[in-house]
Structure 1
Amino acid sequence: MRVLNGRLDRFEEMVYGPIGRAVQQAKPHTEGDPIGVLAATYAMLSSAFAGQVLLPGGTRPALVWTVLVGKSSTGGKGTAYRVAGKITEDAIGSYLGVRTKTSIKNAPTLVRVFTQAIQESSGTEAGEDSRIFMLCDEWGSTLKVLNRDAQFSEHLRKAWDGSSISNTIKGKTKGEAEEEWIDKPLLGFHAHIQPGIWPTAISRTNALGGDYNRMLPVAIEEWQELDDVAGLNAEPESLVEPSAEIANAYEWVRKGAAKEMKYSDAAGREFIAARKAHKRIVAEEDEHVASYFVRAPENIARIACLLTATERKTIISVGAVRAARAFVEYSRETVIELAKMPSLVARSNQPKTLEQKIRDAIGRDGRRTRTQLFSAVGNRHTHGEIEETASRMADIRRTEEPNGRPGPNPVYFDFAPEEPEKEEPEPVVKVVRQRAAKMPVAAPVTSTTRTPVKATTARKTAAKKAPAKRAPAKKAAAAVPTAKKAAAKKAPAKKATAKKAAAKKTTAKRASAVSAPGQGDLFN
């Protein structure tokens, strides 16, 4: 979270009085965030001081409710709480051991816990004691109940103000009812939560109603890593020493009448300035976000009263107001960042369709019979409508299983199995072979053209290879002069007709073309 940047410098502004000094002295011996230690100490001490330290006006207890916001393991929420317990051990250790309650989940339980505490203390020398310290180490689970139980939220708000709460229970006689009444509930509160759970567990409607502006959430994380080998065999917090100043302050607070705190003139002006600055921020911020910290001025007053009480004084100083203001402003920045975090759960005011209800019922409970499905969907739809709708849904399977008994067979509904995706066949590549185009062949040279034909590259190659393939070509070439001589001898024969002479010439030409192809130059 961004607010964690520079938090140790801001912690120095919060240090004041015995509480600030005790946390400063514990810093070297713990990995816990000092702001977290300070917050847990505020919650513990204000719960122990409840009823004896009153706000100016003398009507309300100076209770401080804190929430540690940190990631699991790395936030150090439990570490900070344990260190605060070590600091206050000598002062209020016995009180926390008896009055810490971790199982308060609803309004009747809250009233019952107060009733038991009053009954157990009524016979003691100190008299009735209605102090309770409510610890929620997993606040997210408590918020789930808080968001559904309007009476629980109302009781918590009243307890923060010190107003009376009650609960109606069954009487001893049938038909009668008894009311448990707590006149002055003194409830301390401290909780832990992860930042990621905040947007899913916090109800926006409850926030606008004021359920969360009484708490002071603070972002924390471990601020150092202790590498002392000797400390591996013992808890690092064992080196934290209890505060003697706080022990003396608790003894002073519990003696005599309740202490009503008052502002000095300078402290009063400081508080008025802080309240005006706060109102400007509330006016500029979104209503939903501002609903988490609209009571910041009163929380400043409560912390200032607590710090003053640890000094065993009743006059609030300027330093106490400034230290309280620094802590509350850090909490305000924390809650603004938390309130603006996107929710991981999609919330919608639109009613669910019947199809969605059927899918939710089967997804939540698995395979369901017809009767179980009707019951899970609810009575807003008829049985025929539910079964007809389920039969039309492609992802819902209706199965009728014979059981061999008389009467209709049981019918089951579940999700239809997904069909395996069909693998597309690989495209067949068709190989088409084409013959290469033939090169044009030069026309043979005849005896009448007398023009030599220039051979192409392919023809030259064929001419070179011809002698190797056709060895008898030399004999044919040698036979050409013999044919000429024979023709020369027969030329004088006058009796040969023109037709015969032409026939002989044609025969000679054919013989020369067959015997020596491509060698027409021998006739030129």
Structure 2
Amino acid sequence: MDEKARYEPMSHGPIGAAVKNAMPHTEADPIGVHAAVLALFSAALNGKVMQPDGRPVVVWTALAGRSMVGRKGFALATAEKLLWDSIGEWLALRREGGISSGPSLVQTLYEREQESLTSEGGLDGRCVIVDEEWQSTLLMVKRCPKYSGVFRTSWDGKRISNVTKKDGKKVEITVQEPALGFHAHIQPALWAKFISLTEAQGGSYNRILPVMVERSKRLRRRDYRTGNPLDAIKVSGSLKTAYEWASKERRRMVLGETAADRFDEISAEYEDALEELPEDVACFIERSAEQVMRVACVLTAAERKLVVTVKALEAAKAFVDFSIASVKQLISQSNVTKSRTILPLDVKIRQKLEMYAGEMTQTQLYKALSGRYSSAQILSAVEDMADVEVIQERQRRPGANPSVYRLVPVMPEPEPEPVKPAPKRRAPAKKAAVPAARKPAAKKAAPARKKVGSKPPTSSTRPTTRSSSSSNASQVTASATRTMTRASEAQSNLSNPSIF
């Protein structure tokens, strides 16, 4: 999906038109430009335009992108160019750098109010912090326990204060309705290092909408021959008129009947999603519903209207949803490793496709990978990825058809049915012998003496057991011995007649 298709769902009204008109002249991500415009323009509307419930409409954003590749500075410069005619002078006077402590933040907003007391417009404490080195500020913020509370309360537009000593006496400095805008830049690898989960769970960072950004294109050198290409961007006259309209009097937005029903559905959708998300992700997006309302009010004010429509809500929701996806990506990267590691090419391809709604041309994918891999390497890696397909998209214009890389769902392969073993033949069950009733043991009869000269048992008569065979053999041997003894006695008698 190209940059125009990615940005289209969140584009609405004069702000969307201004961002689209600027894109041919900048290398910035259009969503990054959109985020910067929302932060700066809403900071100028802070205290002038209110939500339906009376809360401020200010939107805080943070661009997360790698150095050079993310083009964060390009996005901010493009937004400033678009807003120069409308709030350029106000930005020059009300812009502040990184503020790293709670007392200094209260003091800065208090001084802005005091400076405005003599101006024609009266009390005006509006201020916008633009921190292009946010990681350095976050390192200092950890040393001040008061910063987080003051920072959160300023987003809500509620009273903040700080106690100081002057001439040995305690003096309380108070800002009743702080009007603070905020826009920052940070590298994804430093997100987990400086933004702790404890602070996020306390609500310090769910008031900021982080946006992952990348370079949209690389302008050619000839585009710089006549100067900075950003100079060719036309400022938005509609936004200038909208700022003048909002500055005349304090205005409060209202929701149309249909828009109110749609906002209830959006709120319920986010609440259901929060129940399923882990705590380390949910703590960053707990205020997504109110963020949608704030963005929708800014988009509506840019149209010089008071009634928020369903279209404005849908465009705001698309931007907040992109921020939620950015949060998940930042957290997933920090959970994998705390330091920068080299990911496999297939993992990088899958991540880029997921960021671009699952579809990119070959040129877009090449640029998204920072040109570190050749087209042949990318194609070779995709051939081994079951969830990515490459198709040739036919174009009506002459020239080669572009190759489109697309994520496709992978159907799980059906598990093979287990092979059932052939049933074994069972031997016929032997009938259990029924034990016969016990009879009293009969007295053993004395073995009958066999006559001398009796015939031995024939071979046809087989003994049933080994013990019986041995018994018969011993009986035969004993009988034969007695017969021979008797024969010898008879012969001796015949030879000795005296015996008779």
TM range (shorter): 0.5 to 0.7
1:365-423 Cα offsets, whole Å, 9 max, x none, are: xxxxxxxxxxxxxxxxxxxxxxxxxxxxxxxxxxxxxxxxxxxxxxxxxxxxxxxxxxx
| Aligned twin of 1:166 | 161
**Is the counterpart of residue 307 in structure 1 residue 299 in structure 2?**
yes
What is the CA distance between 1:188 and its match in structure 2?
0.2
Matched position secondary structure for 1:170: strand
| Aligned twin of 2:427 | none
- Aligned pairs for 1:437-448 (under 5 A) are none
**Is the counterpart of residue 74 in structure 1 residue 66 in structure 2?**
no
Structure-2 change in CA distance of 1:278 and 1:6 (3 Å): farther
How many aligned residue pairs are there?
Answer: 338
> 8 Å contact 2:134–2:186 — kept in the other structure?
yes
> 8 Å contact 1:147–1:203 — kept in the other structure?
no
Structure 1 residue corresponding to 2:116, chosen from 112, 121, 125: 121
| Aligned twin of 1:251 | 244
What is the CA distance between 1:7 and its match in structure 2?
5.6
**Is the counterpart of residue 39 in structure 1 residue 39 in structure 2?**
no
Partners of 1:6 and 1:28 in 2: CA distance: 14
| Aligned twin of 2:170 | 177
What is the CA distance between 1:212 and its match in structure 2?
0.6
| Aligned twin of 1:430 | none
- Aligned pairs for 1:203-214 (under 5 A) are 203-214=196-207
> 8 Å contact 2:98–2:134 — kept in the other structure?
no
Partners of 2:197 and 2:266 in 1: CA distance: 27
1:114-164 Cα offsets, whole Å, 9 max, x none, are: 122111110011011110101111111111233342311000100000001
> 8 Å contact 1:66–1:190 — kept in the other structure?
yes
> 8 Å contact 1:62–1:305 — kept in the other structure?
yes
What is the CA distance between 1:271 and its match in structure 2?
1.4
**Is the counterpart of residue 198 in structure 1 residue 194 in structure 2?**
no
> 8 Å contact 1:213–1:293 — kept in the other structure?
yes
| Aligned twin of 1:49 | 45
Point out where structure 2 has 5 or more consecutive residues left out of the alignment: 340-500
Partners of 1:273 and 1:77 in 2: CA distance: 34
Amino acid at match of 2:115: E
What's the C-alpha RMSD, in Å, of the aligned pairs? Answer: 1.4
Partners of 2:269 and 2:143 in 1: CA distance: 35
- Aligned pairs for 1:272-421 (under 5 A) are 272-342=264-334
Amino acid at match of 1:195: P
> 8 Å contact 1:30–1:236 — kept in the other structure?
yes
Partners of 1:91 and 1:223 in 2: CA distance: 26
Matched position secondary structure for 1:211: coil
Matched position secondary structure for 1:150: coil
| Aligned twin of 1:223 | 216
Amino acid at match of 1:259: R
Matched position secondary structure for 1:196: helix
Partners of 1:146 and 1:65 in 2: CA distance: 18
> 8 Å contact 1:198–1:338 — kept in the other structure?
yes
> 8 Å contact 1:30–1:83 — kept in the other structure?
yes
What is the CA distance between 1:200 and its match in structure 2?
0.8
Partners of 1:113 and 1:342 in 2: CA distance: 34
Partners of 2:241 and 2:290 in 1: CA distance: 26
> 8 Å contact 1:67–1:192 — kept in the other structure?
yes
> 8 Å contact 2:191–2:334 — kept in the other structure?
no
Structure 2 residue corresponding to 1:28, chosen from 24, 29, 32: 24
Partners of 2:68 and 2:31 in 1: CA distance: 17
Structure-2 change in CA distance of 1:208 and 1:109 (3 Å): same
**Is the counterpart of residue 15 in structure 1 residue 8 in structure 2?**
no
> 8 Å contact 1:289–1:340 — kept in the other structure?
no
**Is the counterpart of residue 130 in structure 1 residue 125 in structure 2?**
yes
TM-score by length of 2: 0.66
TM-score by length of 1: 0.63
> 8 Å contact 2:98–2:137 — kept in the other structure?
no
What is the CA distance between 1:231 and its match in structure 2?
2.2
| Aligned twin of 1:100 | 95
> 8 Å contact 1:10–1:326 — kept in the other structure?
no
Amino acid at match of 1:311: E
Structure 2 residue corresponding to 1:262, chosen from 254, 271, 277: 254
| Aligned twin of 2:377 | none
Point out where structure 1 has 5 or more consecutive residues left out of the alignment: 347-524
Partners of 2:61 and 2:201 in 1: CA distance: 19
| Aligned twin of 2:401 | none
User: Rg: which structure is higher?
Assistant: 1
**Is the counterpart of residue 238 in structure 1 residue 231 in structure 2?**
yes
Flag as ranges the 4+ runs of structure 1 deviating above 6 A.
none
